[in-house]
Chain A
Amino acid sequence: MKRYLWRRAGGFLLTAVLVSAATFFVLQVLPGDPALLMLGTEGSPEAYARLRQELSLDQPLLQRYLKWFSAFLAGQWGNSWRYSLPVRELVGQAFPLSFVLALLAVGSAALAALPAGMYMAVRSDRLGSRLLSLFTQVGLGLPQFWVGILLIQFFAVQLRLLPAGGYDGWRSLILPVATLALPRTAVLGRFLRAGVLEVLGQDYVRFARSKGLSGTTVLFKHVLRNAALGPLTAAGVQFAQLVAGTIVVEQVFGLPGLGQLLLNGVFQRDLPLVQTAVMLVVLVILAFDLAFDLCLGMLDPRIRYE
Chain B
Amino acid sequence: MWKRMLVPVVAIWILCTLGGGAAAQVLNIAIPQDPDSFDPIKTVAAATSEVAFNIYEGLVKATPDGGVEPALASHWTVDEEGTRYTFYLREAFFHDGQQVTVTDVVTSLNRARDPELAVRAGELDMIKEVTGLEDAVQIELFEPNSAFLYLLTEIYASIYPAGAEDLSRKPVGTGPYYLAEWRPNQSLELRRFEHHWSGQVPYFAQVNFLIISDENSMVLNLKAGRVQLIPRLEVSVLHQVANSPGIKVQASPMNLVQLFAINNARPPFDDQRVRRALALGLNREEILIGAAWGQGILLDSALSPAMAGFYNDQLGEVNPYDPEQARELLRAAGQENLRFTLTLPANYPLHVQTGELAAQQWERLGLKVDLEIVEWGTWLERVYTQRDYDVSIIGLAGRLDPHSILVRYTTNSSRNFFNFSNTRYDELIELGIRAQGEERRAIYLEAQEILARELPGVFIMDPQQLAAMDERIQGWRSYPTYVVDLASLYQ
Contact of B211 among A38, A51, A254 (CB under 8 A): A254
Contact of A84 among B2, B10, B36, B381 (CB under 8 A): B36
Are the CB atoms of B220 and A152 closer together than 8 Å? yes
What residues on A are CB-neighbors of B186 within 8 Å?
A: 93, 166-167, 254, 256
Shortest CB-to-CB span from A191 to chain B, Å, is 31
Are the CB atoms of A164 and B375 closer together than 8 Å? no
A101 vs B464: C-alpha distance when bound (angstroms): 38
Chain B CB within 10 Å, residue with most, of A32, A84, A169, A261 = A84
Q: Name the residue of chain B whose CB is nearest to the CB of A248.
A: B214
Shortest CB-to-CB span from B46 to chain A, Å, is 8
A207 vs B122: C-alpha distance when bound (angstroms): 86
Shortest CB-to-CB span from B376 to chain A, Å, is 7
Are the CB atoms of B415 and A42 closer together than 8 Å? yes
Are the CB atoms of A90 and B44 closer together than 8 Å? no
What residues on A are CB-neighbors of B119 within 8 Å?
A: 39, 43, 47, 51
Are the CB atoms of B220 and A164 closer together than 8 Å? yes
Task: Produce 1/0 per residue, B9-47, CB < 8 A to A.
Answer: 110110010000000000000000110111100101100
What residues on B are CB-neighbors of A234 within 8 Å?
A: none
Q: At the interface, yes or no: A45 with Cβ under 8 Å from chain B?
A: yes
Given contacts A84-B37, A94-B185, contact A32 B380 (CB under 8 A): yes
Task: Produce 1/0 per residue, A262-282, CB < 8 A to B.
Answer: 001001010000000000000
What residues on A are CB-neighbors of B5 within 8 Å?
A: 96-97, 100
Given contacts A166-B226, A256-B184, A267-B376, contact A36 B381 (CB under 8 A): yes
A95 vs B4: C-alpha distance when bound (angstroms): 12
Given contacts A33-B377, A83-B184, A84-B168, contact A165 B16 (CB under 8 A): no
Q: At the interface, yes or no: B223 with Cβ under 8 Å from chain A?
A: yes
Are the CB atoms of A251 and B1 closer together than 8 Å? no
Task: Produce 1/0 per residue, B253-279, CB < 8 A to A.
Answer: 000000000000000000000000000
Number of chain B residues whose Cβ lies closer than 8 Å to a Cβ of chain A:
59
Contact of A166 among B2, B210, B381, B394 (CB under 8 A): B210
Are the CB atoms of B397 and A31 closer together than 8 Å? no
Given contacts A33-B380, A42-B120, A84-B39, contact A90 B217 (CB under 8 A): no
Shortest CB-to-CB span from A203 to chain B, Å, is 48
Shortest CB-to-CB span from A280 to chain B, Å, is 12
What residues on B are CB-neighbors of A95 within 8 Å?
A: 1
What residues on A are CB-neighbors of B394 within 8 Å?
A: 41
Shortest CB-to-CB span from A173 to chain B, Å, is 10
Contact of B44 among A31, A39, A96 (CB under 8 A): A39
Q: At the interface, yes or no: A70 with Cβ under 8 Å from chain B?
A: no
Q: Name the residue of chain B whose CB is nearest to the CB of A166.
A: B210
Are the CB atoms of A165 and B385 closer together than 8 Å? no
Are the CB atoms of A157 and B220 closer together than 8 Å? yes
Q: At the interface, yes or no: A252 with Cβ under 8 Å from chain B?
A: yes
Q: Name the residue of chain B whose CB is nearest to the CB of A37.
A: B377
Shortest CB-to-CB span from A148 to chain B, Å, is 8
A48 vs B210: C-alpha distance when bound (angstroms): 31
Instruction: Say whether chain A's binding surface is mostly helix, strand, loop, or mixed.
Output: helix
Contact of B216 among A48, A252, A267 (CB under 8 A): A252
Given contacts A169-B9, A260-B185, contact A40 B226 (CB under 8 A): no
A68 vs B210: C-alpha distance when bound (angstroms): 33
Q: At the interface, yes or no: A46 with Cβ under 8 Å from chain B?
A: yes
Contact of A85 among B33, B169, B213, B347 (CB under 8 A): B169
Q: Name the residue of chain B whose CB is nearest to the CB of A81.
A: B36
What residues on A are CB-neighbors of B375 within 8 Å?
A: 31-32, 267
Q: At the interface, yes or no: A163 with Cβ under 8 Å from chain B?
A: yes
Given contacts A47-B122, A96-B2, A166-B186, contact A32 B37 (CB under 8 A): no
What residues on B are CB-neighbors of A261 within 8 Å?
A: 184-185
Are the CB atoms of A32 and B1 closer together than 8 Å? no
Q: At the interface, yes or no: B116 with Cβ under 8 Å from chain A?
A: yes
What residues on A are CB-neighbors of B377 within 8 Å?
A: 30-33, 36-37, 267, 269
Q: At the interface, yes or no: B187 with Cβ under 8 Å from chain A?
A: yes
A260 vs B34: C-alpha distance when bound (angstroms): 11
Are the CB atoms of A169 and B221 closer together than 8 Å? no
What residues on A are CB-neighbors of B187 within 8 Å?
A: 166
What residues on B are CB-neighbors of A8 within 8 Å?
A: none
Q: At the interface, yes or no: B378 with Cβ under 8 Å from chain A?
A: yes
Are the CB atoms of A251 and B376 closer together than 8 Å? no
Q: At the interface, yes or no: B396 with Cβ under 8 Å from chain A?
A: yes
Given contacts A31-B378, A84-B39, A164-B224, contact A264 B168 (CB under 8 A): no
A40 vs B376: C-alpha distance when bound (angstroms): 9
What residues on A are CB-neighbors of B121 within 8 Å?
A: 47
Shortest CB-to-CB span from B407 to chain A, Å, is 12
Are the CB atoms of A45 and B376 closer together than 8 Å? no
Shortest CB-to-CB span from B384 to chain A, Å, is 6
Given contacts A37-B376, A168-B12, contact A43 B44 (CB under 8 A): yes
Are the CB atoms of A160 and B225 closer together than 8 Å? yes
Contact of B380 among A36, A152, A256, A257 (CB under 8 A): A36
Q: Name the residue of chain A whose CB is nearest to the CB of B377.
A: A32
Shortest CB-to-CB span from B92 to chain A, Å, is 27
Shortest CB-to-CB span from A88 to chain B, Å, is 11
Q: At the interface, yes or no: B393 with Cβ under 8 Å from chain A?
A: no
Are the CB atoms of B185 and A38 closer together than 8 Å? no
Are the CB atoms of A44 and B122 closer together than 8 Å? yes
Q: At the interface, yes or no: A64 with Cβ under 8 Å from chain B?
A: no
Given contacts A36-B377, A251-B217, A256-B186, contact A168 B16 (CB under 8 A): yes
Q: At the interface, yes or no: A253 with Cβ under 8 Å from chain B?
A: yes
Q: At the interface, yes or no: A130 with Cβ under 8 Å from chain B?
A: no
Are the CB atoms of B183 and A93 closer together than 8 Å? yes
Q: At the interface, yes or no: A6 with Cβ under 8 Å from chain B?
A: no
What residues on A are CB-neighbors of B34 within 8 Å?
A: 82-83, 264
Task: Produce 1/0 per residue, B211-249, CB < 8 A to A.
Answer: 111101100110111100000000000000000000000
Are the CB atoms of A85 and B220 closer together than 8 Å? no
A31 vs B382: C-alpha distance when bound (angstroms): 9
Task: Produce 1/0 per residue, A87-113, CB < 8 A to B.
Answer: 001101111110010000000000000
Rank and list the top 8 A-B pairs by shortest CB-CB distance, nearest first.
Answer: A32-B377, A84-B37, A164-B224, A256-B185, A256-B186, A84-B168, A156-B224, A254-B212
- What are 20 residue pairs bridging A and B, where the CB atoms are less than 8 Å apart in the complex? A31-B381, A31-B382, A32-B375, A40-B45, A40-B380, A44-B122, A82-B36, A85-B169, A93-B183, A96-B1, A153-B220, A164-B220, A164-B224, A165-B220, A166-B221, A170-B9, A251-B213, A254-B212, A256-B186, A264-B34
